[in-house]
Amino acid sequence: MSDKQQLTFIDFFAGIGGFRHGLELAGMKCVGFCEKDKFAVKSYRAMYDTEGEWYGADISKLGADDVPQANIWTAGSPCQNVSIAGGRAGLHGDRSGLFFQFVDLLKGKAEADKPEWIILENVKGLLSSNGGWDFLEYLGELAEAGYDCEWQVFNSKDYGVPQNRERVYTIGHLGSRGRREILPISAESSGNLKQVVGGMQGYRVYDPSGVSSTLASEAGGMGAKTGLYLIDQSLTAPKLTEEARCITARYTSGTTKRTAMNSAVLEVGAAYPVLTPDRLEKRQNGRRMKEAGEPMFTLTSQDRHGVMLELQEEDSPSKDHRDPQKHTSEEVRLRNATKQGYQSAHHGDSVDLAYPTSSTRRARVGQGFAHALSCSGAVGVAVWNGKRVRIRRLTPRECFRLQGFSDDLFDKAASVNSDAQLYKQAGNGVTVNVVYSIGRKIADMT
């Protein structure tokens, strides 16, 4: 866009800035945002440089003259009242009804001051709420404000993040400035991954032309517990470096040993940070041990610190139990409302953790992708620890990644908010990758 005027936008119902980050990556500039939740505002201000920008705390208290001019207005308005997971009070519910406040601001603007584009995001349930009449009213309100609208259901897993998150995006163009259609936008990464060699997940070999398997948090052997990929040797060559890779808690370089008795290889299955490991009977307020992968305790001048290593025998890839279909220890069965009565989760599969004892829930297991994130963070992942498959909850960092946010942005949000708020913010957010695709299409047409 070097030869074009940079497009500007205002971020309504901003949350943690999924719209902002996606449109900024597409070359646009944010001139202001509106968000009522004080915790989300803390994350937003920590993640982005908002100095000098316009800010609106409560959309219900704004007038049209309060909002500065911009080329685009975005809004991921509250969806609880039209979601199939909620009570479905409809578009006029107390939360989803804030959409009308947004439209009133559009209607209150003079034609020359209205944004040329609007981008709205909502749950897929908006299309069916109240038998479809709510969506008809939704489009009618936007038409009265002067906008020709088109819409499309986007699934985040088709745009570079392994999350099955279907959302309807409505794109409106100001009718008085002509009609410009940008939809449909085709999926960017919908190819299927071809498995070349089977077996246990870490030893499977894939053709790398498709979508990767879901990444696990562990690093180290067995294809990083995710799988191996064919590489065309004619296109690559070994690269020598002067520095060795760092040894991490799950990476076993330099931390394996061979026993004298049977020459079996023992590898580190996990490493747990421990406080004062030399004083087993020490009375301690708070934890003395953390989970594998968590940071070490704060260093002090008095306490001693250690690491507990969980050693396990490294099995041969040729052993029968590498086939997950032959041993139930390599799967977890979860209650599911199907004829079979359960679903099996293997290493790398996502698991819906909400209402675990319910007999009416379906599709608890996601094979190769995560379920749509919720505000409670009730999404887990099945992980093979060398002996069995266990289920753990996704971390807030992983939830931010599933929404397309980089780790540096997450670290800024985590520095000012609790895990509970971070889970909520990720669940309420919009997927950055999807917004970027829409933003690039608009930028190319403008």
pLDDT of residue 400: 96
What residues contact residue 145 under an 8 Å CB cut-off, 6+ apart? 103, 106, 107, 114
pLDDT digits (tens, 9 = 90+) for 411-442: 999 999 999 999 999 999 999 999 999 999 99
Confidence of residue 314 (pLDDT cuts 50, 70, 90): very low
**What pLDDT shows up at residue 157?**
93
For residue range 401-412, list pLDDT tens digits in order: 999 999 999 999
Segment 40-47 mean pLDDT: 98
Asked if pLDDT for residue 213 goes beyond 60, the answer is no
Contact status, residue 70 vs residue 174, Cβ threshold 8 Å: no
Sign, CA dihedral 139-140-141-143, equals: positive
Strand order in the sheet with 305-313: 257-258, 265-275, 305-313
pLDDT at 226: 64
pLDDT over threshold 80, residue 303: no
- Taking only the tens place, the pLDDT of each residue in 383-401 is 887 788 888 999 999 999 9
Higher pLDDT, 379 or 413: 413
- Predicted pLDDT at 234: 42
pTM: 0.68
The angle, 0 to 180 degrees and rounded to 10, between the axes of the packed helices 407-414 and 38-47 is 130
Q: If you average pLDDT over residues 169-186, what whole number do you get?
A: 92
Sign of CA dihedral 44, 46, 48, 53: positive
Q: Which of 135-144, 236-245, 285-294 bottoms out in mean pLDDT, i.e. has the lowest?
A: 236-245
- The answer to whether residue 327 scores a pLDDT higher than 90 is no
Both tokens assigned to 90 = 């409809």
Question: What is the set of domains in the chain, with CATH numbers?
Answer: 8-188+405-445 (3.40.50.150), 194-229 (no CATH), 257-313 (no CATH), 320-399 (no CATH)
| Alpha-carbon Rg for the chain in angstroms | 25
Strands (E), 175-255: 194-197, 205-207, 228-229
Residue 124 has pLDDT above 60, yes or no: yes
Give the pLDDT score at 105: 96
What value does the mean pLDDT of the chain take?
78
* pLDDT greater than 90 at residue 68: yes
* Active site residue ranges: 79
**Most confidently modeled range among 169-173, 245-249, 281-285:** 169-173
